Structures are given as C-alpha cells and as structure tokens.
Amino acid sequence: MSARVRRLALALALLPGLIVDPGRRALLAQMRAFCRALPQALEAPLSGALDRMLAVEAQAAPYSPDTLRRLADLAALLERRSPLGLCLRRSLTRAHFLRRAGVPVAVQFGAKFVDGRPDRAVTGHAWLTLDGRPYFEDEENWREFTVMLAYPPLRPDIDRDRARGREPR
C-alpha cells in the first residue's frame, strides 16, 4: 500500500471518533499546535529543546497509546506547510504525547548516504523506539540509518543494536 493511501486510510479511520468526541478534537488541536511550534522550538540548542519538549511528567491519559499515536500521526500529516520533514514532526509529536501518557518511547535521529554511496548526499530520518525496538515504524524507513543521536540517550551497545533492529550481542 502506498504512503499516500495509508495516510488517507488513517484520516478516514480517525474521522468518526473526531466527529463524535470533542476531547479527541481538542487533543488533535493541541497536537497540531505542538507541530506548528516545532520549527521555533528547534532553533534553540538541540539538547535543551529536546529536554523542554520531551522531558514531560507522565499523567493519566484519557486515550490509549494507539489512539495517541494515530492522532499524532494525523496532526503531523495535516501540518504540511512546516519546514520540517514529516518523520521529524511525527516522531517528536508522538514522543511528546506518548511520554506524557507514561509510554517511555525514545526518539532516534539517524543519517545515511543516499543510495548507500559515500559520494552522495546525506539524508536523515527520525523514528521512535520502545524498549530499544522500533515503535510502529516500517523497517524500510529506518533499517539503513545509523543512529547519530537519541533522546533520551541510548545505553551503549544494547539499545544501539536494538535501535538498528538487531538483537544485542
């Protein structure tokens, strides 16, 4: 299934809940506001920006982690005018709201050479992990990226291997 079709399916699947539940609409509005604020928030030094965005106190969430994740994905999709890439918007929005709900996800920031060749440009990707394993991320989206930064920081060896989809040695 193409990415465009998956995105449309996500929006259509969430629509009934958004129509009947004002709480979901309010949460989606909060998530969209969070997405819109990301470019300015990321102008600060990265470690401080990530602390402010992601070191949130866990509180009881009125919705399941799956609902939070899907609403965060929709919020990131709807903020198409953002100068930030979809994966960064999606990962940071997911992380903020999931961590606030007590789900201890970590954000991975990776890089790779385009087409795997060092004479090509470098491209980046952001994704989440939970317990050191990719969290609702298609393997082809993260597999060839080298983790350059993680928040919270990775534990040496074990989490790095799991973030790359390998079992620890």
Q: Which helix (H) or strand (E) holds 69?
A: helix 65-78
Nearest one of 19, 51, 14 to 153, comparing CA atoms: 51
Would you place residue 107 in the very low, low, confident or very high pLDDT band (cuts 50, 70, 90)?
Answer: very high
Is the pLDDT at 85 greater than 60? The verdict is yes
For the entire predicted model, the pTM comes to 0.83
DSSP label at residue 97: H
Return the pLDDT at 157.
56
β-bridge mates for residue 123, sequence order: 112
Is the pLDDT at 55 greater than 70? The verdict is yes
Is the pLDDT at 169 greater than 80? The verdict is no
For the beta sheet containing 146-151, the strands, ordered from the edge strand earlier in sequence to the opposite edge, are: 133-134, 122-130, 106-113, 146-151
Return the pLDDT at 60.
87
The answer to whether the beta carbons of residues 105 and 128 sit under 8 Å apart is yes
Would you place residue 166 in the very low, low, confident or very high pLDDT band (cuts 50, 70, 90)?
Answer: low
The answer to whether the beta carbons of residues 130 and 103 sit under 8 Å apart is yes
Give the pair of three-digit tokens for residue 63: 């919705």
Please indicate whether residue 61 or residue 38 has the higher confidence score (pLDDT).
38
Is the pLDDT at 162 greater than 70? The verdict is no
The residue behind tokens 């394993």 is 133
Ranking 147-151, 152-156, 157-161 by mean pLDDT, the lowest is: 157-161
DSSP label at residue 118: T
Give the span between the Cα atoms of 26 and 167, in whole angstroms. 40
23-26 long-range contacts (CB < 8 A, ≥24 apart) are: 23/62, 23/63, 24/63, 24/67, 24/71
Average pLDDT score over residue span 78-99: 94
Is the pLDDT at 119 greater than 90? The verdict is no
